[in-house]
Amino acid sequence: MSTLVEDNPAEHRFEILVDDALAGFAAYEPRGEVLVFTRTEVDPKFQNMGVGAALVRGTLDQLRERGATLVPRCSFVSAFIDRHPEYADLVEVEA
C-alpha cells in the first residue's frame, strides 16, 4: 500500500492518497502562517488501517518543514498530538 500526503490549498485541506485513491483529508482554515484544523475524515473502506494517523503525521511533518504552526480544533488531530508529543511544538496557543 503506497500513501502520499499532499496539501490541496484550493480545498483548504491536506489529502492522503492510498494507491492513487483519495482515502481521507484534514480540513483547515488558513490564518496567515497558522492553520486551524477543523475536521479529519477517512473514507470508511480505509478506516482501521492507520490511514488517519499517516495523514496527520504527514501533515504535521510538512507544516514543520514550512515553519508553520497549527491550532488543532479537530479532536482527531488534537488526540494525535497528545499521543505524539514530538509535535507539540507546532501547536499555536490561541489567545
The answer to whether residue 41 is domain-embedded is yes
pLDDT digits (tens, 9 = 90+) for 4-27: 999 999 999 999 999 999 999 999
For residue 7, what are the domain limits? 3-90
pLDDT digits (tens, 9 = 90+) for 17-57: 999 999 999 999 999 889 999 999 999 999 999 999 999 99
Give the C-alpha separation, 2 to 41, whole Å.
19
CB distance 24 to 16 below 8 Å: yes
> Does the pTM of the predicted model rise above 0.85?
yes
CATH code of 22's domain: 3.40.630.30
Scan for cell 490511514, then name that residue.
51
Counting the structural domains of the chain, the total is: 1
